Each structure stands twice: as structure tokens, then as C-alpha cells.
Amino acid sequence: MRNLVKDHLGRMPVNASREHLRAFAAEAAAVGKDPSFRVLDAGAGKLPYKSLFAHVSYEAADVVAEPGLDYVCDIAKMPVPDDTYDLVFCSQTLEHVPNPVAVLREFHRILKPGGQAWLSAPLFYPEHVQPYDYFRYTRFAWRKMARRAGFTVADISWLEGYFGTLSYQLEMAYKALPADMKVWRYTLLHLSRKLAKRELTERYLPRKGMPKNYKVKLVKPAA
């Protein structure tokens, strides 16, 4: 037991979700080929994905001021004209807005006809950035919101496979169980890290279960 504790306390956990989110951002960035392609990163925070969009015209917005932002504003009220962007990227943000449909309608307004919105948000995740944490989204909610905002759904799919979701659930259990349950806690932590590593090499999608996050691609119909 002592060796197990020493082994795991000395290493940082694998964050499979972070790897998948970066891959999703890279895929979005690859849609544009040159600086004529305009991208808005909405809810960009500290701009973790800016470097991926270096080959296109990239702008970033968030309600909280951070260095490098082009707009500090409510992303439901962007100070830009209609039909401005070719792509809006919005990752892990819509759970924090009080009216997600209003935000999607704003994305629809500022996108050019045929433009795309690439989005991700959690289905399974604890409350965070409290008290500004309002929603979790099923695929049925995504479809209903997209329809209300005027978008066509191109794709709704799991961000992580089930190994990634289960890994996160086990990590949560490790942190939540009483301190005197050491064998249970570190067994769960060991399994969590094993599954997280496997998630990065094998994205398992079962018929049952759930993702930690959904990733979504919406299209504004061409004029």
C-alpha cells in the first residue's frame, strides 16, 4: 500500500479531456486555409488555442478581461456587424451563460451564410466557476437549441470515449471518499489513470453510458 501511495502522489493525472479539446480546436482551425478566413473564439479565457489559429484571422472575446482579448463583452451581444465570421469556436463556455439560446442566436447573426459554429460543453461535470454555472447539455438539448437559433446540425458526438468519462468518475470518487478508505481511494486513482491513458489510444464508444462532454458542429444555412 505504501508503494502505491508514493507512486501515485508523485505523478500528475492524465487529462484526456484536455487532449481531446485541443484536438477539437485543431480540427476547427484546419477548416480555414488563409488570413481571409475569419474566426471568433467566444469565451476564449486565457486564449489556450490561439496558436492553432495562427494561419487565419483570429479574434477572441470573453466577459472577463484577459490579456490578448479583442472584445471584453457579453458574448450574447457582440459588438460586430452581421455576417462577420466564417467560424465561431466556443469551448466549455455555454454552461456558464444564463441564456444559451440567445448566445447561439448571436453566433448565427455574426456568422456568414454557410458559416460554422464549433462548440463543446459538459454533460457530466461538477459545479464550477460558482455561482456562474447554469446548465448541462444532452444531445436532445443541443438539437432543440440549434433549431431555435436557426442552425442546421452537422454533428453532435462524444468528445471523450467512455474510458475518459469513467476515468474522470473514478478520479472524483478518489477525491470524495473518506481519508481512512486509503486502499479504496488509491485503487480508484490507479484505475482512473490507467483508463485515462487508454482513452488516448482507444476511443471506446459503447451503446450505453455517457460522455463527459459533447462536441457539436452547427451550420448557418447559406443565403
**Mean of pLDDT values over 58-86:** 98
In the prediction, which pLDDT does 100 show? 98
In the prediction, which pLDDT does 207 show? 87
What is the spatial distance between Cα 120 and Cα 125, in angstroms, rounded to a whole number?
13
Q: Give per-residue burial for 132-164: e unless 16+ CB within 10 Å, then b.
A: eeeeebeeebbeebbeebebeeeebebbbbbbb
In the prediction, which pLDDT does 123 show? 97
Structural domains present in the chain = 2-9+163-199 (no CATH), 16-160+207-219 (3.40.50.150)
pTM above 0.75, yes or no: yes
Q: How far is CA 85 from CA 74, 121, 178, 205, in A?
A: 17, 21, 50, 33
Choose among 169, 66, 57, 68: nearest CA to 124. 169
